[in-house]
Structure 1
């Protein structure tokens, strides 16, 4: 296994962070940072400029100034760092755990001994400074293509069955022909191959339960009509499902924050036994123009429906993929993102449909979505305490994976692969290994190299996005990118799911596999993919009945720990539209972002540590006044792209924090030269310890500096939007892991583990 030795500092930071809220992290995102060296020198570190990210290794450069104890004029320079980071995707924060400083350049100091002293000081004190980088600032400045970009290929982009409706409707999926099984707790037969509550009552009628309403039909596939007076024996089922939703999904009421009843019910239930998608409008399509384009959009729809007036072709976006047809009830055909009309790239940020920009190649939103999909969620795993639990329906059965020497288990809800005489599984984002298919399982220190070539036509494809970064005698440092949770970089954009239909396992139990279609998946710049707005009202049988059919939630949307968030109102205009502004109507489940986002809730908190700011059942109050920025600015000039870009939204228009001006506008270039922006004019630090204006003969330098500053400001605006619109923490059925359990082990990390 390839090793890269780095000097690793104490990991006490993880334990320290677990007791503080996101507001404390906000304090740590202010720049410059001030370090006092042992000789009394004051070192100011300006906002880092990321250069590359691979796993949990971040390479960056940063401008700095050094002022000696005699208070002389400071010396400016640049240092380059190779840092080990940990990531907290829930709060979108990146923590600096250790730092190596291979190079440092000062503008007017060539004393090699002094430079070596400063490098040592930085390596020692940077981790102790508690440096936190907003993830959004990181991804807006990274320009490199990372590993995941090369992995996603050969997806199935053929359209599912696409159904159009012009009245409020909801899609109910059944995984093939309905399969019935007796539920002893309910006393009735239930359809087990669906995530919905569907039972056959003693009167022979089928009943579907969703959002505290019953619907009845003569058969499992419908047609369903509202059951205004459901049989009394169904009340027990309704109570059990509501309680499960209350406990595990944050579902508690049909009332929004104003007290209005949000939900009025659906009279049109569409049942499909094969992969399908529903697009709908409220009445006939109300097509409105998008400024400065030839595009119209359906204003009376929660879906992304467009008409190109130049060609009279309709375009829809489902699960991150584009499809086109000459009418809404037509024969939809896949169109690659690179081939959609150029006017899609002209949709203004802040407009009602700017949420689709993440699926339009070449836009800032698309680039940021690609980078975000490659930033891992990291965890520190106790090798001696973490354990996996794998059960099979009968004796373990394996099938070969074409093009590899791997085999995968078909009769289990877990993802198990065989490689030689060893068996591997990933549970809640952690690799385990065993000498036999039934265990005993121990934390793996490496994974088979052939994992990277698993084709997407196999249901264990997502395992390639779970990595092992580092190994010590007591701990393994792991991470997974959103590909583990069904978010993939495919070509120039991100998509949800592979598009393949994976056959479930049928035996004594039903084990579902990940679905791409049927849940109106829509992209959010901070939370990834979320299910369509209609599903937010308690439609799924969340967490109930797992003892009867072994947990359907462990397959429909990916790993058993994962449940996608519900989309918010599509009419929330702002930075990336759909989910970024003030609420038009606040959905009742806004705190159900994920059952598990950043790691293991089924293990004891002293086994797995991850970088959360909420530990166990500790309630954290976030001071909203920290995020109430002045809403009187925000236009960013980006000369590198030749136009003014407004990154503000209609409702969310944060001005940049004070640290954008003044000291924080100090940047460095790749050669280590240091610049500052004074009232819109760039100046360079000279050997004479002076700031000299850059003349107009250096336009390329000015354009690069403008671009760097614009990307920093854009990242800050993204982070502010996330903070102002972040939902309340979800109530979990098990406590969240603390950020540094296992006794706060302070051992240094050893050699770097290969992927």
Structure 2
């Protein structure tokens, strides 16, 4: 078959199957068609097209069999071809390959350079096959297409096992469990104060996730909880309600840093009374249960779900043990008061049997061995890439005083500690990673140029180092004009470990302080694993965290007061963090307009650049001329019986299968026959059973793909998804 014409045929198939937008004008199923496209993406199978000569091509959902290096994709397409006036269709399998580039934020994968690797219509003779090739070839010329990343990854069957990284911390954090309204007051190390500008005698605690101020001698602490305040002589408590604040609070600056605090003056009485205040000077987790645990049985397991908790908490009646999920890790205890121990490596098998469609089903994505966990791991391993102009981007690195470096344990490298930039010294060179782009210079202050190579030593940095995430950003291609960079989700602190996807390294990195006589100390926090109620959200394919009453108004422990070296002032609530709205903090751009999001790893970091950086999908599409017209007409398939919808599956041998009355059958010599193995002897029954199981898995994968796409759309529209937690009320403030 002619490769150009076959490639054109493939575009119809892949586009129909995987929810896409096409760059060529005139094609009816563009992603820009809104509701129509959404309906088409979840339509039933198969889908048929009529050629200008009257031939009918019926396409069944493609099966992605390989994705080598997440840059080269291979797929099988089961197809039916009927010439004009023909009766029985010819069944065949087409194997195709394509180059790919993924954009997780847009949920897109761009496919280009599509070629046919093999075509097998076993019932057609040589002349018939040639005629078929000509008919199929009367389509649009070559052009890239985009497909849904969510649906693609969900539909992969038997994908090669991805390897876990090693060296992550497995120690349990402090886990507090309360059956009364409670909050978690955290400081990142010993509580440290700085003066409030313009309010002599009033100080704020820099390294906390709450509005926590102190005044008097000896000092009294004042903690804002929404519109109420509580006070204590010691940060550990006990805390009591405050009906009137000291007069010095009236001098809080009238700016965004203290907007919420000023709005809570004078204090208002809390409707729920004073909550329990738990304190920790390291990242911790808080489980709030609304009274006694309400245990809801999990069908066909010994598990019970705590339905009235603000977090994922289960009880296993088989071993009288509690299980708590935080940051993709499981912890267990025989008593809710603890002690808690790491449990991801010995999680009971019943967790894999948790059913779909329940409020607690979201945890399946964090259970090793489930399809949801494998999909999460697969998505986390797909690189987001961009083409970076060698002359179009730059970085200016500033320090708190003279540059200071600390050695990376186990290596000869060192990293800068007194800056908000990631600077690594390798030999006599200084490498800067900023918003997904590597730069290199001869001095710690530059000037820096776009790096077209990165030393292999950098990729030996262990997870015990706070700059470990740099090992997930690589150079993919270089030319005299540009460099192609890419990162996987480890750059934003989501890692493959213990058979699932986790958030954070599990190591605690103490913050770096710069003390200056007569000036407030400078606080430089590192990324933390715990302290934010972080959980995986399958509907978006990302980790996120809950905010509000339990974990403080600023999210997590590392989001308290951050010093902005560009303005010389503290930024309350982490407003200086985040290169791209909801993409997690990687560097500092200043306080204007950036919203802190503690753990979302789904955004595209490269979109934070104003110029000089082109995302992969965009440059692939921009380089294509799209002036052709589609000359195929889509046919109505509503009359096709339900028994034939969404069931045609192909394999590499050119065989086509479908399910009839609950039994898988294979098309042979114009007839559908019960599947069989060509082998004889004792292996025959085993091979047939393995084939049945494989076909069942592939059909289940197709159904998951459709479900995941629809779930993602619901999340993006702001609605509920069955893959989300059971409404955000579990994380909202009490009213």
Contact 1:485–1:559 (CA<8 Å) still a contact in 2? Answer: no
Q: 2:176 aligns with which of 163, 182, 185?
A: 163
Which residue number corresponds to residue 723 of structure 1? 713
Which residue number corresponds to residue 441 of structure 1? 448
Which residue number corresponds to residue 694 of structure 1? 674
Contact 1:55–1:479 (CA<8 Å) still a contact in 2? Answer: no
**C-alpha displacement at 1:490, in angstroms?**
0.7
Alignment of 1:578-657 (within 5 A): 594=600, 597-604=603-610, 607-609=613-615
Q: 2:472 aligns with which of 451, 465, 470?
A: 465
Contact 1:557–1:563 (CA<8 Å) still a contact in 2? Answer: no
Distance 1:19 1:666, change over 3 A: closer
How far apart are the structure 2 equivalents of 1:543 and 1:727? 33
How far apart are the structure 2 equivalents of 1:324 and 1:290? 18
Distance 1:239 1:665, change over 3 A: farther
Structure with more contact order per residue of length (Cα contacts < 8 Å, sep ≥ 6):
1
Distance 1:236 1:267, change over 3 A: same
Which residue number corresponds to residue 523 of structure 1? 536
SS of the residue aligned with 2:543?
strand
Deviations 1:704-726 (A, max 9, x none): 22221111112211222222233
Contact 1:590–1:728 (CA<8 Å) still a contact in 2? Answer: no
Deviations 1:648-704 (A, max 9, x none): xxxxxxxx9x999746433211323223445655444446xx352335775543332
Is the counterpart of residue 301 in structure 1 residue 309 in structure 2?
Answer: yes
Alignment of 1:418-497 (within 5 A): 418-497=425-504
SS of the residue aligned with 1:717?
helix
Which residue number corresponds to residue 673 of structure 1? 655
**C-alpha displacement at 1:515, in angstroms?**
0.7
Is the counterpart of residue 498 in structure 1 residue 516 in structure 2?
Answer: no
Which residue number corresponds to residue 280 of structure 1? 288
Deviations 1:431-485 (A, max 9, x none): 3333432233333333332333221100111112223333444444333222222
Is the counterpart of residue 349 in structure 1 residue 356 in structure 2?
Answer: yes
Contact 1:280–1:303 (CA<8 Å) still a contact in 2? Answer: yes
How far apart are the structure 1 equivalents of 2:652 and 2:321? 46
Distance 1:660 1:134, change over 3 A: farther
Which residue number corresponds to residue 240 of structure 1? 256
Deviations 1:495-543 (A, max 9, x none): 2211111122211522111111222222221332222354588444689
How far apart are the structure 1 equivalents of 2:642 and 2:144? 21
CA RMSD of aligned residues (A): 4.6
Deviations 1:60-90 (A, max 9, x none): 3323455668878654433333322233323
How far apart are the structure 1 equivalents of 2:479 and 2:33? 27
Which residue number corresponds to residue 514 of structure 1? 527
Deviations 1:395-443 (A, max 9, x none): 3233333444433222222222223333323222333333432233333
Q: 1:194 aligns with which of 193, 199, 208?
A: 208
Distance 1:542 1:457, change over 3 A: closer
SS of the residue aligned with 1:373?
helix
How many residue pairs align between the two structures? Answer: 634
Q: 2:694 aligns with which of 704, 709, 716?
A: 704
How far apart are the structure 2 equivalents of 1:349 and 1:288? 15
Which residue number corresponds to residue 615 of structure 1? none
How far apart are the structure 2 equivalents of 1:21 and 1:235? 52
**C-alpha displacement at 1:57, in angstroms?**
3.1
**C-alpha displacement at 1:34, in angstroms?**
7.6
Q: TM-score, normalised by structure 2?
A: 0.73
Which residue number corresponds to residue 713 of structure 1? 703
How far apart are the structure 2 equivalents of 1:21 and 1:605? 29
Deviates more, 1:525-534 or 1:457-466: 525-534
Which residue number corresponds to residue 74 of structure 2? 59
Distance 1:494 1:555, change over 3 A: farther
Contact 1:545–1:551 (CA<8 Å) still a contact in 2? Answer: yes
Contact 2:174–2:285 (CA<8 Å) still a contact in 1? Answer: yes
How far apart are the structure 2 equivalents of 1:543 and 1:70? 75
How far apart are the structure 2 equivalents of 1:346 and 1:479? 36
**C-alpha displacement at 1:300, in angstroms?**
2.4
How far apart are the structure 2 equivalents of 1:478 and 1:403? 27
Alignment of 1:305-316 (within 5 A): 305-316=313-324
How far apart are the structure 1 equivalents of 2:490 and 2:641? 35
Q: Which has the larger radius of gyration?
A: 2
Which residue number corresponds to residue 153 of structure 2? 138
How far apart are the structure 2 equivalents of 1:197 and 1:555? 14
Contact 2:545–2:598 (CA<8 Å) still a contact in 1? Answer: no
How far apart are the structure 1 equivalents of 2:705 and 2:234? 52
Contact 1:381–1:476 (CA<8 Å) still a contact in 2? Answer: yes
Contact 2:210–2:552 (CA<8 Å) still a contact in 1? Answer: no
